[in-house]
Amino acid sequence: WMWWPNARLFGYAEGQTPAVGAIMVQGISWSSPVGHVAYVESVNSDGSFTVSEMNYGRWGVVDYRTIKSTSGLDLLRFIY
């Protein structure tokens, strides 16, 4: 979760809109007590986006998932 507050210090733009190549940053939550990051692979016309990530489904495994919207995800932000 410290990715978000430090991104600007290192010259990266931040925002709330997914974009291909962005880093998705999810804040601390009950399911992720240290936060979570993922790489945005694609953005779809309906606003959903696909990310690649590690340790989401199983420890040590890279997987892909499509997120239907940013609503409902804890403190979701993007680093460009």
Q: What is the pLDDT of residues 19-70, one digit of tens each?
A: 999 999 987 777 676 778 999 999 999 989 999 999 887 889 999 999 987 6
DSSP letter, residue 10? G
Q: pTM here?
A: 0.84
At 55, list the tokens.
Answer: 């340790």
- Are 6 and 79 within 8 A, CB to CB? no
Domain 3-79 indexed as CATH 3.90.1720.10? yes
Q: Is 40 strand, coil or helix?
A: strand
Q: How many CA atoms does the CB half-sphere of 79 hold within 13 Å?
A: 20
pLDDT digits (tens, 9 = 90+) for 67-79: 987 666 666 889 9
What's the one-letter identity of residue 23? I
C-alpha torsion angle, residues 54, 44, 25, 5 (rounded to 10): 150
